[in-house]
Structure 1
Amino acid sequence: MENAESLTPIEAARQFIHTFFPNCQGALLAGSVVRGEETATSDLDIIIFDQTVKTAYRESLIKFGWPIEVFVHHLSSYQTFFENDVKRARPSLPRMVSEGIIIKDTGIIEQIKKEANQILEKGPEEWPLELINTKRYFITDILDDFKGSQNRAEELFIANSLADLSSEFYLRTNQQWIGSSKWVIRSLSQFDKQFADEFVDAFDSFYTSGDKDKVILLVDKVLAPYGGTLFHGFSLGKG
C-alpha cells in the first residue's frame, strides 16, 4: 500500500516503534513486505516484545502512510502462541518471527528467533492412524457429494470444502504445516511445487469449465497411499 508520500516499510516500522513502543525490548517487521511479495493492499506486520504489557494483544492501525497490524507480547506470552500454533499446525507467529527483520533489539531477539526456527524445522505433530481414517471418511463423503451433484451453485461450495480438506490431508499426512486462504497454496508450493501446480490446475479446470474429472483424480491420488476412499466399515464413537 506504499505511495509517493509513504515512508518505506522499514522507515515506517521504526517510526511506529519509536512513537508507540519506545521502551520495548525488541521489535520485528514481518509479512509480505519482508518476503518481497507485497501488493497494493499489503500491510505491515510488526511484532513487539515489551515486558511492561500485562497481556498479549493485536491491533490494527493506519500510521505513517501504512496499514499496520501490530502483535504485542510480553517476554513469555509469545511462547503460548507458539504452542497453540503448533497444535493447529498453522505456524503464524513462528513464521513471522523467523522471517522478521529486526527493527529493535536489546538482546532478546536471537533466542526468540531460535525458538521459532526450531518449531518450523521440526514440523507439526504426526497424525495418528485413527485421525487419518476419520479425515478419509469425511473427504470421501464430500467427494461423493461432488460427483453426484448436478446443482452448479452447490458444486461451487462442495469444491471449496474438498479443496480445503484434501490440501490439509496431503500436507498433514506428510507432517507439513498447513495454512488458510492464500497460505493453502503457499504451503503446498513450499512442500511440493509439482503437486501444487496439479492442485491449482484441477480446481481451476472445474471452476472455469465445470469439468470435475481432474479434481476427482487429484483427491483419489491424495487418499491412495492411505487406503483410498473410506465408507464401508468406518465407525466413530462406537463402544
Structure 2
Amino acid sequence: MASAREEPVVAAAAVARQLLPEARMVVVGGSVLPVHRTPMSDLDMVAVQPRMAAPRHRALWWEGWPVELLVHDERTLATHCEDGFRRRWPGIPRLLAQGALLVDEDGLGARLQAEMRRRPADGPAPATAAETDALRYELTELLDVTAARRAEARRRGAGGVHTGACVARGAPVRPVSSRRSAPSR
C-alpha cells in the first residue's frame, strides 16, 4: 500500500528550506500542480542561488515525491531560458510562469514570473530557412519510421501501429483504431 504524501507545494517548500537555504528564488511547477496530477507526477523545481560556477541538476526523493531540482544563478537561468525560447521549447520558462513561487527573497521571482508570462504571448521569432528544413527532415524521418513499423506490423499479421519494443519482447500487438471502442474478444 502506498504511503500518503504531503501536498506538493508543502513538500517542495520543505525541500527548499532544507536543501536551498541560500536561495534567492524557488519555484515548483509542472504536472504536479494542475488538475492533471497523476501518481507519477514529480516536483519540478527551479532555484536561483547567489553566484555559481555552473548550474546543477539533482534528482532525489523527498517524503515520497520524486524531485527534479534545477539550481542556477541569475545569469545561467537567463541563458537557459533564452536558449529554450530560441529552440522553441520553453519548458523552464513555462515552469517559471505557471509554477508556485515558494521563495522570493528580493523580488527576482516575481519579476521572472511576470517576464515568463509575457514572453510566450509575444510568440516565437519566425523560423529561418535552415530551421524549417531541419524540421521538415525530422518530420519526414518520423513518417518513414511510422510507415516502416506499420509495414512490419502488417507483415506479422497485427494490422496496426506498434512500438518495436512490443515485437522484440514477443508481446501481442493489437491494431490501433482512431475510434474508441470496446476491445474485441
TM-score normalised per structure 2: 0.72
Retained in 1: the 8 A contact 2:33–2:99? Answer: yes
Q: Which stretches in structure 2 are left out of the alignment for 5+ residues?
A: 164-173, 179-185
1:157/1:81 CA distance change after superposition, 3 Å: farther
Quote how far apart the aligned CAs of 1:33 are.
Answer: 1.7
1:62/1:110 CA distance change after superposition, 3 Å: same
The 2-side partners of 1:138 and 1:28 are apart by: 33
Retained in 2: the 8 A contact 1:12–1:64? Answer: yes
The 2-side partners of 1:22 and 1:131 are apart by: 42
1:130/1:152 CA distance change after superposition, 3 Å: same
Quote how far apart the aligned CAs of 1:63 are.
Answer: 1.3
Matches for 1:1-239 after TM superposition, within 5 Å: 3-4=3-4, 6-106=5-105, 107-129=107-129, 131-132=131-132, 135-136=135-136, 139=139, 146=147, 150-152=151-153, 156=161, 208-209=176-177
Retained in 1: the 8 A contact 2:153–2:162? Answer: no
Q: How many aligned positions are there?
A: 160
The 2-side partners of 1:130 and 1:78 are apart by: 27
Amino acid at match of 1:10: V
Quote how far apart the aligned CAs of 1:123 are.
Answer: 2.2
1:92/1:136 CA distance change after superposition, 3 Å: closer
Amino acid at match of 1:64: E
The 2-side partners of 1:137 and 1:68 are apart by: 35
Q: Deviations over 1:18-77 (max 9, x none)?
A: 111112111111111212211111110111111143311111000122111111011221
Higher helix share: 1
SS of equivalent residue, structure 2 residue 176: helix
Retained in 2: the 8 A contact 1:16–1:64? Answer: no
SS of equivalent residue, structure 2 residue 37: coil
The 2-side partners of 1:35 and 1:140 are apart by: 34
Structure 1 window deviating more from structure 2 (62-71 vs 95-104): it is 62-71
Retained in 1: the 8 A contact 2:161–2:176? Answer: no
Quote how far apart the aligned CAs of 1:119 are.
Answer: 2.3
1:35/1:128 CA distance change after superposition, 3 Å: same
1:52/1:157 CA distance change after superposition, 3 Å: same
1:153/1:28 CA distance change after superposition, 3 Å: farther
TM-score normalised per structure 1: 0.57
